[in-house]
Amino acid sequence: MELVTMKELMEEAHRGHYAVPAFNVCNLETIQGVLEEAEEMQAPVILQTHWSEAYYSTPQTVVDMVRSVGKNKRIRAAVHLDHGSSYEDAVRCIQGGFNSVMYDGSQLPLDENIRILKQVVELAGYAKVTVEGEIGTIGQTSEMGEKLEKSYLTSPKDAQKLVDETQIDCLAVAIGNAHGFYTENPKLDFDRLKEITEVVKIPLVLHGGTGIPEEQIQKAITMGVCKVNFSTVLRKSFISEMQAFMEADPENLGLMDILDAGKNSMKAAVKESVEMCMCQGKL
* Residue, CB closest to Zn ion: 207
DSSP per residue, 66-130: HHHHHTT---EEEEEEEEE-SHHHHHHHHHHT-SEEEE--TTS-HHHHHHHHHHHHHHHHHHT-E
50 near Zn ion, rule: CB under 5 A: no
Question: What's the closest the beta carbon of residue 50 comes to Zn ion, in angstroms?
Answer: 8
Instruction: Considering the complex, state which of residue 75 and residue 228 has its C-beta at the smaller distance from Zn ion.
Output: 228
The H helix count followed by the E strand count for the chain is 12, 9
Q: Does 267 interact with Zn ion (rule: CB under 5 A)?
A: no
Q: Is 40 exposed, middle or buried (0-12, 13-18, 19+ CB in 10 A)?
A: middle
Q: Which is nearer to Zn ion, 75 or 204 (by Cβ)?
A: 204
CB of 52 to Zn ion, least distance (A): 13
Helix 190-199 crosses helix 214-223 at what angle (to 10 degrees)? Answer: 20
Catalytic residue among 64, 82, 169, 260: 82
207 binds Zn ion (CB under 5 A): yes
Q: How far apart are CA 280 and CA 40, in angstroms?
A: 9
Stretch that binds Zn ion, among 21-29, 50-58, 204-212, 257-265 (CB under 5 A): 204-212
**Quick check: 92 binds Zn ion (CB under 5 A)?**
no
Sole window of 26-34, 147-155, 201-209, 238-246 interacting with Zn ion (rule: CB under 5 A): 201-209
Catalytic status, residue 82? yes
The number of residues making up the chain comes to 283
CA distance 121 to 107: 19
Q: Output the smallest distance, CB 133 to Zn ion, in A.
A: 12
Catalytic residue positions? 82
Residues that bind Zn ion (CB under 5 A): 207
